Structures are given as C-alpha cells and as structure tokens.
Amino acid sequence: MKETRGNTVYEHQEDTNQVVHVWGDTAVGNALLWAKARKRGKAFDYKLWFSDTYVRTPTGWRYVFGQASLPLRAP
C-alpha cells in the first residue's frame, strides 16, 4: 500500500514493540516505527521510537502530545 502525505509517498509503515502505560486519566503509548518512503523523489528507510500521550476527558481520550527519536542507526 502506498500513501501520499504532501511530498512524501510511503511504501511501508509498521509499528511494533507497542507498550501503553495508564496513570489515572493519562496514558502514554510507546512503539518502534519502521518507515520506508520517498520524499521529493529521495528514498528513505529507517526505524525510530515514538511516544504519544493521551488524556481522558468527559467525551473520551484526547491526543495531547507526541515525540519521536532521531532515526536509529542501521545494525
């Protein structure tokens, strides 16, 4: 499956090693993302760690913050 976002065409996106921690009305999810794509014609293929933070509201969970590592070095 290819997905286009702006000038980036993704050939593959997969997240693994997913872990979610919940503390009261706050949840933090961590995962390892593998992305393979072309941006403005230039190919990239890397893995990185990311975290997403959610807060429970009266209408459900709301995304409030995300961050990602720099791409990891290939083994």
**DSSP secondary structure of 22-62:** EETTEEEEEEEEEEEEEETTEEEEEEEEEEEEEEEETTEEE
pTM of this prediction? 0.76
Q: What's the pLDDT at 4?
A: 62
Question: Whole-angstrom Cα distance, residue 75 to residue 65?
Answer: 30
Q: In which residue ranges of the chain is pLDDT below 70? A: 1-6, 75
Question: How big is the CA angle at 34 (ends 72 and 64), to the nearest 5 degrees?
Answer: 90
Question: Whole-angstrom Cα distance, residue 11 to residue 64?
Answer: 28
